[in-house]
Structure 1
């Protein structure tokens, strides 16, 4: 299945996500000291840290080097999931090598790493002159195309 995709729609989606996070901003002092201490031990180099709260979750967005990260915790402070956004240089070597072999004619635009208690998956956005392709990979390097869009002309 091929769909039309434009960078404008990606920009709009990112803006909406950013605005919706602001709607759930937690007032100062609602994050427990225990959770803050655990976060600071786990991510000592975190910069631009922003906490948010929903009815059943705490979310923290931050940057470590050139990696943007979002971590979700439950109300008891237990890890639920994380999203990390980065370039191909941060991919595990086994996945990077397989991508370069299987998609040699494509350029890596960006990577989204999705981690839960049960798994780690990598969504790699590839591009060529005509298409955007998203390839999903597990930690073993087993890959499948999950999206394919024609670039807008």
Structure 2
């Protein structure tokens, strides 16, 4: 089941990125209350681009080297977020377990998926022959959810 969810998550990310390009930069319809809450939560946000759909607001921005996408409902309530970053931004407990369990692999990138009730980390690893995606929860429990052979 997890293998079926990951491609859907990837597709959702792609669609979010494309839809944001269509609506980017328009914050005229965003309520002052939501804008104030956003700036209070993310005071260092750069390259901020808002998008609006029928039932939600989406905002893309960077904080340092971390690319972030956050979705809010029309009432300004947080729905979920995606953050893309390198291994150095992983929580220490996950980084230590990752380095121990996959010492022979290199971290290509991390996607952090957060909802109201859950945080998951999708860590893309590589070696000479494979691409591997490891899913971790906040406690550092890990499982391989994808594995692909590299083209030769």
The answer to whether TM tops 0.5 is: yes
* Deviation digits for residues 28-67 of structure 1 (CA, Å, limit 9, x no counterpart): 4100010000000000000000000111110000000000
Partner of 2:32: 33
Partner of 2:58: 59
CA distance in 1: counterparts of 2:13 and 2:81, whole angstroms: 17
Equivalent pairs, count: 142
Give the secondary-structure state (helix, strand or coil) at the position aligned to 1:123. Answer: strand
Gaps of 5+ in 1: 1-9
* Deviation digits for residues 84-121 of structure 1 (CA, Å, limit 9, x no counterpart): 00000000010000000100100000000000001000
Partner of 2:130: 131
1:21 partnered with 2:13: no
Q: Mean alpha-carbon deviation: is it higher for 19-28 or for 141-150?
A: 19-28
Partner of 1:7: none
Higher RCO (CA < 8 A, seq sep 6+): 1
CA distance in 1: counterparts of 2:22 and 2:62, whole angstroms: 20
Q: Please, what TM-score do these two structures have when normalized by structure 1?
A: 0.87
RMSD: 2.0
CA contact (8 A) 1:49 1:62 kept: yes
Q: Please, what TM-score do these two structures have when normalized by structure 2?
A: 0.87
1:1-150 correspondence to structure 2 within 5 Å: 18-25=17-24, 27-150=26-149
CA distance in 1: counterparts of 2:15 and 2:118, whole angstroms: 27
